[in-house]
């Protein structure tokens, strides 16, 4: 009987210790999660800048465009691509909010020019304009978004016409730029997290707990 009673008392003492160990493991996991979230928030504060020279090393960004070609300008040669009825510019790990700048022009020697609309992820219209025969820059803002680390694309939809080579083309795109700044809510949240140090403090506290 004495041996059995002592064994029961040992098991009873082990149960609270096991529960405490599980709680501390949970705190460690929460601490790691908080640190990861803090790092993500801080990364979201880094301004994003993309400059895409269309027709030159642009394979990762363009979809549904015509073949790249070189053209002669006053300052030398440059590259460009014609859009079709629907073409897209891809921005991996860019995110929003941001501003897109497109340098483009319409059909040469034409009294009419194509109507162009811009669509975020092919679903939300964010811009509309009429192209010109001369080069112009068109800027459009993309609003919303807490964190930057996400992909999106801009779909360019335009009227098309045959320029004499059998291809239906929309607008001639020379260059695309993207600049992004952190949203106010992301900036505020990251600043508060960095000031209070809640992620690292929680992780340090949970890591220092003794089992």
Q: What is the DSSP string of 43-73?
A: HTTS-EEEEEETTSS-TTTEEEE---EEEEE
The residue among 97, 145, 135, 142 whose CA lies nearest residue 118 is: 142
Tens digit of each residue's pLDDT (9 = 90 or more) over 23-77: 677 666 766 665 555 554 444 555 667 789 999 989 999 999 999 999 887 777 8
DSSP annotation of 173 = E
d(CA 96, CA 179): 10
pTM assigned to the model: 0.66
Q: What does the domain layout of the chain look like in residue ranges?
A: 2-44+186-207, 48-181
d(CA 23, CA 33): 15
Helices (H) and strands (E) in the chain, counts: 3, 12
pLDDT of residue 175: 95
What CATH class is the domain 48-181?
Answer: mainly beta
Q: What is the DSSP string of 130-159?
A: E--SS-EEEEEEE---S-----EEEEEEE-
Q: Which residues of 149-186 are buried (b: 16+ CB within 10 A; e: fewer)?
A: eeebbbbbbbbbbeeeeeeebbbbbbbbebebebbeeb
pLDDT band at 142 (very low <50, low <70, confident <90, very high): confident
With the CA atoms of 162, 166, 171 and 177 taken in that order, what torsion angle do they form, in degrees rounded to the nearest 10?
180
Tokens of 2: 């004495």
Q: What is the DSSP string of 27-44?
A: HHHHHHHHHHHHHHHHHT
| Consecutive H or E run containing 193 | helix 184-196
Distance of CA 63 to the CA centre of its chain: 17
Inform me whether the pLDDT recorded for 195 exceeds 80: no
pLDDT of residue 35: 58
pLDDT of residue 58: 94
């Amino acid at each position: 009987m004495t041996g059995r009673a002592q064994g029961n008392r040992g098991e009873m003492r082990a149960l609270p210790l096991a529960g405490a160990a599980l709680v501390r493991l949970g705190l460690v996991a929460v601490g790691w999660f908080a640190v990861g979230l803090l790092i993500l928030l801080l990364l979201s504060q880094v301004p994003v800048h993309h400059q895409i020279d269309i027709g030159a090393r642009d394979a990762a960004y363009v979809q549904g465009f015509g073949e790249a070609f070189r053209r002669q300008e006053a300052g030398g040669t440059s590259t460009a691509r014609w859009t079709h009825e629907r073409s897209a510019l891809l921005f991996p790990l860019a995110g929003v909010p941001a501003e897109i700048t497109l340098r483009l022009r319409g059909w040469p020697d034409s009294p009419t020019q194509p109507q162009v609309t811009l669509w975020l992820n092919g679903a939300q219209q964010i811009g509309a304009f009429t192209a010109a025969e001369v080069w112009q820059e068109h800027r459009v803002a993309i609003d919303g978004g807490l964190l930057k680390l996400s992909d999106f694309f801009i779909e360019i939809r335009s009227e098309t016409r045959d320029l004499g080579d059998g291809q239906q083309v929309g607008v001639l795109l020379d260059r695309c730029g993207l600049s992004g700044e952190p949203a106010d809510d992301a900036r505020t949240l990251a600043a508060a997290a960095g000031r209070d140090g809640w992620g690292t403090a929680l992780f340090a506290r949970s890591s220092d707990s003794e089992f």
